[in-house]
Structures are given as C-alpha cells and as structure tokens.
Amino acid sequence: MRAVGVILRWVGAVFAAALIFVIVYVVGALIRHRLGAYPSRLDWPSLMAAFLAVTAGTYVVAREQRGTAALVLSSLICAAPLWAVLQGVLGSHFSFVNFETFCSVLVGSSTHLMLARSGFFSGKRANRVAGRTG
C-alpha cells in the first residue's frame, strides 16, 4: 500500500506543477497583454511560473523526496522550451524568443533548486538565524 501512496503523490506533484505553471503563465500573459506589452515576450511570466510550479510540486511529495522531486520537476518543466529551441536550431530558423523563454524557465526552476539546497524552505535557516539548533 505504501508504494501506491508514493506513486499517487508523485502523480499529484506533476499534476500540481502543471496546473500551477499553466495558471501563472496565463495570468502573466493576460497582464502583459493588458499592459500593451509585446505579446510573445513572456520572460517574467515563464520565470515565475517555473519557480512556483516547482515549489508547489515539491510540497506534494514526502519530505525526504523533495530534493529529487525538485530536480525531476525542473527537468520536466525545462523540456518543452528546450524542445522548441532545438527544433528551431535543427530546422535552421533560430528563434530568440524561444531561447529567451527557455532561459527564463531554466532560471526560474533552478532558483528553487538553489533556495532549497540552502535550506530556505525547510526552516533550518530561520533556526540558525534565531540561534536555535535542530
């Protein structure tokens, strides 16, 4: 029964990450459109969507698997923009907008990885600053 629970948590993590990514990306695109900005330049919505999607997905899995979940979700989130960049390069029509989106998603997801590694999400840093151990 434990294996089924772990599998369901991982499926839930991927689903939560995908849902958060789409919601944040669409809201960011609507804000950019409402402000009258160039619609294909979605650098900050993709950065925020990647960061929040990885963060939301890692909180679904068990605590001891959060590092692995962050790495897996970051890889999955970066796969689609990387595929768009590679298709453009192999088709000999490089698109800077696709490359910029890939870089934004990469920075957003790696930001979560760096913050998680430093103990930002676990509370260890707050205890260290307050002078408590544990």
* Structural domain count, the chain: 1
CA distances 133 to 27, 115, 121, Å, are 41, 20, 16
Flag whether 129 is in a domain. no
- pLDDT of 126 strictly over 60: no
Flag whether 61 is in a domain. yes
Flag whether 100 is in a domain. yes
Model pLDDT, residue 51: 93
* pLDDT tens for each residue of 93-114: 888 888 888 998 999 998 888 8
Of how many residues is the chain composed? 134
66 vs 133, residue with greater confidence: 66
Flag whether 130 is in a domain. no
Residue 69's domain spans which residues? 2-124
CA gap 70, 3 in Å, rounded: 20
Model pLDDT, residue 124: 60
CA gap 105, 49 in Å, rounded: 8
Q: What angle do CA 19, 26, 116 make, to 5 degrees?
A: 55
Structure pTM?
0.80
Record the tokens describing residue 79, joined without a space. Answer: 């796969």
Flag whether 79 is in a domain. yes
Flag whether 114 is in a domain. yes
In degrees to the nearest 10, what's the CA dihedral of 64, 68, 73, 78? 150
* pLDDT tens for each residue of 47-104: 899 999 999 999 999 888 888 999 999 999 999 889 989 998 898 888 888 888 899 8
Flag whether 132 is in a domain. no
Could you tell me the pLDDT band of residue 120, with boundaries at 50, 70 and 90?
Answer: confident
- pLDDT of 40 strictly over 60: no
CB 73 within 8 A of CB 53: yes
Model pLDDT, residue 130: 58
One-character DSSP codes across 8-44: HHHHHHHHHHHHHHHHHHHHHHHHHHHHT--TT--HH
Model pLDDT, residue 17: 94
